[in-house]
């Protein structure tokens, strides 16, 4: 049997439609009260995973447990979950109140309690006073709030959210992002959130599940995913990156030394090997990755012996407000650097020193 | 995704003409252009519909049987006669009854078909649409004679019913109200199906999912979500079938004969066989008026009713 702390357990779920393998051996545990995000590119199977949990998609193999109960053969309408859809999916012929009432009436909740719970749910999403409006008469953000309230008012075992913010403008998206997080903690409902927006995932989640092509690439907290990506895919998907190529020259327990393909040599921490077996040996062709904000840019005369340091030439400079995005030519490659400030006199063509900590560079066998 | 608009349907019923482009001054050029494009149709409708209709209206107010004999006087005596003669009142009632039955039968038969069409893949849907519309490809007379053969006292349907032991003696299917309803339902079912199907296509499929996850069984979800949201299609289908049934002539004449004298048959008889043009004209206008009244009251009731939001 499963541990009680897990609200959802998915084991070896496999699903094929026609020739497409949509879910290819998904194993997943969702802890009680957490906000778990399914993150991945379009078509990777996020919605499908959610639909399997909700009961909208039959699976070919595997098991799904919700609160310790195997639900493979239980239809969606008996699973007692809450779900918010990308298109809001409010019932257009019902008022806000009637939309919220729908699930409660099906559960035969007494009238007084229904009223109280609907009021409370509307308060929670700051929609009090709009009970008699029809969905047509609400803005996008308001509709989404009602949709969330409708899902929560039935006190579901799980809250499932399928890209609930993707139809909203950037500002509203930010606002609702914070609000969903607040709500989720306030209500304490175990939540699975689907998004293809890495920023959204990083800022909201307790844990992130990165998916690719029907498989799970990595599960971890936002910092784990960002700082210690386990696969190349995760590294590239979760943020911007610079890439170098080379061959492993020597390895010791702490450091890997890599001879770059054009010229030069860099050090990478031995822990930072990505890929399925997380090892590499001398002579392996490898790819190296580093994030723009991990590259430090300094005047030429400054060097740090513990760092990888190379001279580079500024190729382009963009001011972003909070930082400078500087493109440099380094070791024969174009590299992006994100740096909070620049020195006076730096301009295109200026020689600079670019350095980085070996612990910030990731390495993977080609 | 634009649902069937109400106004479109009312135009079908009342043949009201509305300019396609609003007449604001800055749109004048566009407006003129639209009028120009519509002109042939406009002339056609005026020449072959509006003028004859007005002429018939004029005829219906001429009294040729009053004290003046053949000297025509204007009066409402034709209408007075209609509403005081039990025969014609019965005929009116018969017309309404047969039309209502036809509406109900085609709704009950058509809804499941429309639902199936909405649920299946686009390819199958195309095929079904063709199949559903196929009765429209056959001449109404030919189609009625087909039914004629099937519904005869010793025809296929009766033989089947007797063979299955459902009835002992043949049912009177031909030259009866039942026969007329069968014929009319068959003829107008495609309009009902396509009208309902169109409104079903417009329902966001995620609404059913939303209902399910909130705990609604498929049946409950159908009753609370799909059915109300398909009301515009149901209403337009009902209105179409009803008004077409009210004015149907060929099918009642062939399938009902003298036993089912609906108003169009009566009007035809008055004008063609008895040469009572003026009375026949009045009968036609009563038919038109009653049909419009029923349709208008019905649609207004639906638009103002419990599910008025669906009609927005
Ligand atoms: N009914 C279906 N028939 C065939 N293939 C399907 C069907 N539904 C989904 N797929 C395929 O399954 C894969 C996963 O789809 P899914 O909707 O789960 O992706 P997703 O991660 O939610 O993507 P998005 O971010 O675009 O919503 C896709 O490649 C898609 O083409
Ligand atoms: Mg999706």
As a whole number of angstroms, the distance between CA A243 and CA A263 comes to 15
Are A204 and A270 found together in one domain?
Answer: no
Q: How confident is the model at residue A85 (pLDDT cuts 50, 70, 90)?
A: very high
Task: Choose, out of B210, B220, B227, the residue to mutate when testing the contact with A (most A CBs < 10 Å).
Answer: B210
Are A249 and A141 found together in one domain?
Answer: no
As a whole number of angstroms, the distance between CA B181 and CA B248 comes to 11
Are A313 and A220 found together in one domain?
Answer: no
Are B160 and B27 found together in one domain?
Answer: no
CB-nearest to A89 from B207, B215, B309 is: B207
CA of A214 relative to ligand 1 center, distance in Å = 9
Q: Residue A176: its pLDDT value, please?
A: 87
pLDDT in tens, A11-69: 999 999 999 999 999 999 999 999 999 999 999 999 999 999 999 999 999 999 999 99
For residue B200, the distance in angstroms to the closest alpha carbon of chain A comes to 14
Strands A159-162, A191-195: pairing kind: parallel
Are B295 and B154 found together in one domain?
Answer: yes
Are B38 and B117 found together in one domain?
Answer: no
pLDDT in tens, B127-145: 999 999 988 888 888 988 8
Provide the domain count of chain A.
Answer: 2
Q: Per the domain annotation, does B100 fall within a domain?
A: yes
CA of A181 relative to ligand 1 center, distance in Å = 26
Are B52 and B156 found together in one domain?
Answer: no
- Phi, psi for residue B109 in degrees, rounded to 5: -75, -35
The mean pLDDT value of chain B amounts to 88
Q: Looking at the CA of A52, name the nearest ligand.
A: 1
Domain termination site, one of A203, A230, A257: A230
Are B37 and B183 found together in one domain?
Answer: no
Q: Per the domain annotation, does B78 fall within a domain?
A: no
Q: Residue B118: its pLDDT value, please?
A: 94
Q: Residue A159: its pLDDT value, please?
A: 97
Chain B CB contacts of A154 below 8 Å:
214-215
pLDDT at A97 over 90: yes
Q: Residue A264: its pLDDT value, please?
A: 82
Q: How confident is the model at residue B18 (pLDDT cuts 50, 70, 90)?
A: very low
Pocket test for ligand 1, best of A26, A45, A193, A194 (most atoms within 8 A of CB): A45
Note whether A345 contacts B: Cβ–Cβ < 8 A: no
Domain span at B37: 23-56
As a whole number of angstroms, the distance between CA A51 and CA A48 comes to 5
Pocket test for ligand 1, best of A18, A19, A44 (most atoms within 8 A of CB): A44
Q: Per the domain annotation, does B10 fall within a domain?
A: no
Which CATH number covers residue B167?
Answer: 1.10.3720.10
CA of A5 relative to ligand 1 center, distance in Å = 30
In this structure, of A70-79, A344-353, B1-10, B178-187, the range with the lowest mean pLDDT score is: B1-10
pLDDT in tens, A137-184: 999 999 999 999 999 999 999 999 999 988 888 888 888 899 899 999
Q: What is the CB-side half-sphere exposure of residue A54 using CA atoms within 13 A?
A: 28
CA of A158 relative to ligand 2 center, distance in Å = 18
Q: Residue B69: its pLDDT value, please?
A: 54
In this structure, of A108-122, A165-179, B57-71, B157-171, the range with the lowest mean pLDDT score is: B57-71
Which CATH number covers residue A356?
Answer: 2.40.50.100
Are B177 and B224 found together in one domain?
Answer: yes
Q: Residue B94: its pLDDT value, please?
A: 96
Are B178 and B225 found together in one domain?
Answer: yes
Higher pLDDT, A288 or B8: A288
Q: Per the domain annotation, does A2 fall within a domain?
A: no
* Cβ partners under 8 Å of residue A83, min gap 6: A50, A54, A151, A159, A160, A161, A162, B209, B210, B213
Domain termination site, one of B35, B56, B77: B56
Q: Residue B222: its pLDDT value, please?
A: 97
Note whether B212 contacts A: Cβ–Cβ < 8 A: yes
Q: Per the domain annotation, does A129 fall within a domain?
A: yes
Pocket test for ligand 1, best of A15, A46, A86, A217 (most atoms within 8 A of CB): A46
pLDDT in tens, A99-136: 999 999 999 999 999 999 999 999 998 899 999 999 99
Are A208 and A304 found together in one domain?
Answer: no
State the burial class of residue B34 (Cβ atoms within 10 Å of its Cβ: 0-12, 13-18, 19+): middle
Are A53 and A193 found together in one domain?
Answer: yes
Are A47 and A190 found together in one domain?
Answer: yes
Structure tokens at A363: 């390495």
Contact A310, A328 (CB under 8 A): no
Q: How confident is the model at residue A328 (pLDDT cuts 50, 70, 90)?
A: very high
Q: What would the mean pLDDT of A318-345 be, rounded to a whole number?
A: 88
pLDDT in tens, B186-241: 999 999 999 999 999 999 999 999 999 999 999 999 999 999 999 999 999 999 99
pLDDT in tens, A278-302: 888 888 899 999 999 999 888 887 7
pTM of the full structure:
0.84
Note whether B225 contacts A: Cβ–Cβ < 8 A: yes
Note whether B217 contacts A: Cβ–Cβ < 8 A: yes
The secondary structure of chain A in percent helix, strand, coil, rounded to multiples of 5, reads 30, 35, 35
Q: What would the mean pLDDT of A253-267 be, rounded to a whole number?
A: 86
As a whole number of angstroms, the distance between CA B236 and CA B216 comes to 28
Contact A335, A295 (CB under 8 A): yes
Are B110 and B37 found together in one domain?
Answer: no
Show the beta-strand stretches assigned E in chain B: 62-63, 73-74
Q: Per the domain annotation, does A185 fall within a domain?
A: yes
As a whole number of angstroms, the distance between CA B181 and CA B185 comes to 6
Are A260 and A181 found together in one domain?
Answer: no
Structure tokens at B263: 């108003």
Are A287 and A198 found together in one domain?
Answer: no
Domain termination site, one of A230, A259, A274: A230
Single out the residue of A316, A317, A306 nearest to residue A360, CA to CA.
A306
As a whole number of angstroms, the distance between CA B286 and CA B247 comes to 11
As a whole number of angstroms, the distance between CA B281 and CA B270 comes to 9
Are B43 and B140 found together in one domain?
Answer: no
As a whole number of angstroms, the distance between CA A314 and CA A213 comes to 38
Q: What was the ipTM of the complex prediction?
A: 0.85
pLDDT at B13 over 50: no
Are A211 and A248 found together in one domain?
Answer: no
pLDDT in tens, A193-240: 999 999 999 999 999 999 999 999 999 999 999 988 999 999 999 888
Provide the domain count of chain B.
Answer: 2
Q: Per the domain annotation, does B99 fall within a domain?
A: yes
Are B210 and B104 found together in one domain?
Answer: yes
CB-nearest to B206 from A55, A77, A87 is: A87
Contact A327, A336 (CB under 8 A): yes
Are A222 and A85 found together in one domain?
Answer: yes
Domain span at A259: 240-365
Domain termination site, one of A199, A230, A261: A230
Q: Per the domain annotation, does B65 fall within a domain?
A: no
Are B115 and B161 found together in one domain?
Answer: yes
Which CATH number covers residue A28?
Answer: 3.40.50.300
Cβ separation B214–A102 shorter than 8 A: yes
Q: Residue A281: its pLDDT value, please?
A: 86
Q: What would the mean pLDDT of A317-339 be, rounded to a whole number?
A: 89
Q: Residue B8: its pLDDT value, please?
A: 41
Q: Per the domain annotation, does B3 fall within a domain?
A: no
For residue B198, the distance in angstroms to the closest alpha carbon of chain A comes to 17
DSSP run (H or E) holding B234 = helix B231-246
Are A246 and A220 found together in one domain?
Answer: no
Contact A230, A274 (CB under 8 A): yes
Nearest residue on chain A to B213, alpha-carbon basis: A77
pLDDT at A321 over 80: yes
Are B111 and B37 found together in one domain?
Answer: no
């Amino acid at each position: 049997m499963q541990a009680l702390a897990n609200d959802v357990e998915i084991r070896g779920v496999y699903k094929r439609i026609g020739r497409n393998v949509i879910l290819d051996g998904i194993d997943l545990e969702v802890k009680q009260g957490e906000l778990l995000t399914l993150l991945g590119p379009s078509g990777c199977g996020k919605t499908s995973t959610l639909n399997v949990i909700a009961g909208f998609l039959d699976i070919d193999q595997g098991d799904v447990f919700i609160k310790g109960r195997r639900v493979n053969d239980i239809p969606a309408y008996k699973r007692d979950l809450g779900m918010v859809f990308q298109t809001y999916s409010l019932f257009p012929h019902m008022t806000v109140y009637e939309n919220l009432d729908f699930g409660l009436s099906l559960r035969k909740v007494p009238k007084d309690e229904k009223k109280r719970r609907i009021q409370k749910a509307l308060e929670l999403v700051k929609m009090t006073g709009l009970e008699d409006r029809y969905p047509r008469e609400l803005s996008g953000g308001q509709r989404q709030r009602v949709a969330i309230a409708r899902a929560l008012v039935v006190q579901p075992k799980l809250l499932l959210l399928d890209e609930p913010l993707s139809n909203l403008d950037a500002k509203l998206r930010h606002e609702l992002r914070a609000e969903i997080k607040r709500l989720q903690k306030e209500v304490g409902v175990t939540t699975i959130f689907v998004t293809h927006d890495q920023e959204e995932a990083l800022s909201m989640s307790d844990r992130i599940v990165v998916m690719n092509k029907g498989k799970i690439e990595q599960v971890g907290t936002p910092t784990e995913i960002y700082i210690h990506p386990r696969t190349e895919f995760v590294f590239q998907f979760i943020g911007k990156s610079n890439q170098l190529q080379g061959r492993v020259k020597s390895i010791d327990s702490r450091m890997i030394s890599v001879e770059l393909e054009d010229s030069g040599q860099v050090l990478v921490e031995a822990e930072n090997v990505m890929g399925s077996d997380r090892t590499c040996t001398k002579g392996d062709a490898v790819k190296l990755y580093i994030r723009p904000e991990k590259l430090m840019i300094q005047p030429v005369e400054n060097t740090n012996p513990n760092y990888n340091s190379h001279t580079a030439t500024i190729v382009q400079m963009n001011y972003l407000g909070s930082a400078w995005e500087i493109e440099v030519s380094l070791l024969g490659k174009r590299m992006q650097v994100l740096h909070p400030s620049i020195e006076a006199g730096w301009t295109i063509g200026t020689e600079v020193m670019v350095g980085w900590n070996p612990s910030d560079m990731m390495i993977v066998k080609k | 995704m634009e649902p069937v608009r109400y106004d479109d349907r009312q135009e079908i019923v009342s043949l009201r003409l509305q300019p396609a482009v609003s007449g604001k001054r800055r749109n004048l050029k566009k407006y003129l252009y639209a009028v120009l494009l519509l002109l042939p149709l406009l002339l056609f409708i005026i020449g072959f519909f509006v003028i004859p209709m007005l002429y018939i209206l004029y005829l219906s107010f001429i009294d040729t049987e009053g004290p003046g004999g053949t000297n025509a006087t204007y009066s409402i005596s034709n209408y007075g006669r209609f509403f005081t003669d039990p025969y014609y009142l019965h005929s009116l009632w018969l017309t309404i009854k047969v039309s209502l039955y036809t509406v109900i039968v085609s709704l009950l038969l058509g809804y499941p078909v429309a639902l199936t069409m909405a649920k299946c893949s686009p390819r199958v849907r195309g095929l079904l649409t063709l199949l559903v519309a196929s009765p429209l490809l056959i001449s109404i007379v030919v189609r009625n004679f087909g039914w004629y053969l099937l519904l005869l006292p010793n025809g296929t349907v009766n033989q089947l019913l007797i063979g299955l032991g459902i009835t002992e003696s043949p049912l009177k299917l031909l030259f009866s109200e039942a026969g007329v309803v069968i014929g009319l339902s068959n003829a107008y079912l495609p309009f009902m199906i396509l009208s309902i199907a169109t409104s079903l296509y417009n329902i966001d499929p995620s609404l059913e999912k939303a209902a399910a996850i909130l705990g609604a069984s498929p049946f409950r979800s159908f009753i609370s979500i799909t059915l109300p949201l398909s009301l515009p299609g149901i209403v337009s289908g009902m209105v179409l079938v009803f008004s077409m049934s009210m004015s149907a002539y060929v099918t009642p004449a062939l399938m009902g004969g003298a036993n089912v004298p609906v108003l169009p048959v009566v009007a035809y008889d008055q004008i063609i066989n008895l040469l009572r043009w003026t009375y026949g004209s009045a009968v036609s206008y009563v038919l038109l008026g009653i049909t419009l009244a029923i349709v208008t009251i019905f649609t207004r009731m639906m638009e103002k009713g419990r599910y008025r939001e669906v009609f927005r």
